[in-house]
Amino acid sequence: MAYLPILKTESETLPAKILVVGDPKRLDMVAGSLKDVEPISQNREYHSIRGSFNGQIIGAVSHGVGSAGAGVCFEELCQSGATRIVRAGSAGGMQANVSAGDVVVATAAVREEGLSHKLVPPTYPAIATPDVLMAMRAAASSHGVEFHEGLLLTSDMFYPHDLLGSDLPLWQKAGVKAVEMEVATLFVICGLHGVEAGAVVAIDGNPLEQDAGSMETYDPHQEKVKTAVSNSLLIALTALVS
């Protein structure tokens, strides 16, 4: 047994299978899909609960926004004895056919964040575990959810500035499906610990296409985005216990 100082709990309180989300409030949505829900701890943006899904005990933990803070969470989860961690999050579409309300299952992620480069050389891949990826495909199919599959871009930048601009057009040309802020970090840390990992994201806009590079039209609170969030959580939970 080990104490996890940032998650503020003992390692034995966390199940081996963990769902991670960014927003602590999203844990309320997760709790609605679980039975016998119990709170574990709260510290800053790191909130933890446990409960039963499809007859299996799982944990759910929030990690906030961005790779550095999320990496603290992922590291402590791996140290606690987690065997599978799945992230359900939000992202911006980067292809013309990836729009608000869509769902994307990640095969791998581009490491454009900073933390993973402090842990391992840049040639180390950030990839989803094949078994988890297959479980997500099966989960989406069983729940009748249409989805895209492919690469995510994990970036530390949300608001670009004119001085250096944005590299999103480059990654769009490279075929990346969507951009978010934590998945590459999850895949790298889990890879280093030998922990299975996967990710599915709900698309809440498209910074290059529909939104034409302007944040003025960005609206992550549309009903179709809420539906995509619900679908992504269902896929993630089902894959987690498969």
The domain that contains 45 carries what CATH number?
3.40.50.1580
Can you give the pLDDT at residue 233? 98
The stretch 192-209 carries a mean pLDDT of: 95
- What count of other Cβ atoms lies within 10 Å of the Cβ of residue 236? 27
The interaxial angle of helices 67-79 and 183-193, nearest 10 deg, is 30
Q: Name the β-bridge partners of 58.
A: 51
- What count of other Cβ atoms lies within 10 Å of the Cβ of residue 14? 23
Q: pTM of the prediction?
A: 0.96
149 has a pLDDT exceeding 60: yes
From 23, 28, 204, 219, the catalytic residue? 204
Mean pLDDT of the chain: 96
3-state secondary structure of 16: coil
Can you give the pLDDT at residue 160? 86
What is the span of the domain harbouring residue 121?
Answer: 3-240
3-state secondary structure of 85: strand
How far apart are alpha carbons 96 and 94 in whole angstroms?
7
Can you give the pLDDT at residue 147? 99
Residue 240 phi/psi, 5° resolution?
Answer: -60, -40
The stretch 223-229 carries a mean pLDDT of: 97
Can you give the pLDDT at residue 118? 98
Can you give the pLDDT at residue 165? 87
The stretch 213-226 carries a mean pLDDT of: 82
Can you give the pLDDT at residue 113? 98
Q: Grade residue 212 by pLDDT with cuts at 50, 70 and 90.
A: low
Q: Grade residue 162 by pLDDT with cuts at 50, 70 and 90.
A: confident
Q: Name the β-bridge partners of 37.
A: none
Q: Does 204 participate in catalysis according to the annotation? A: yes
Distances (CA, A) of 92 to 37, 47, 89, 111: 31, 25, 11, 16
Number of domains the chain contains:
1
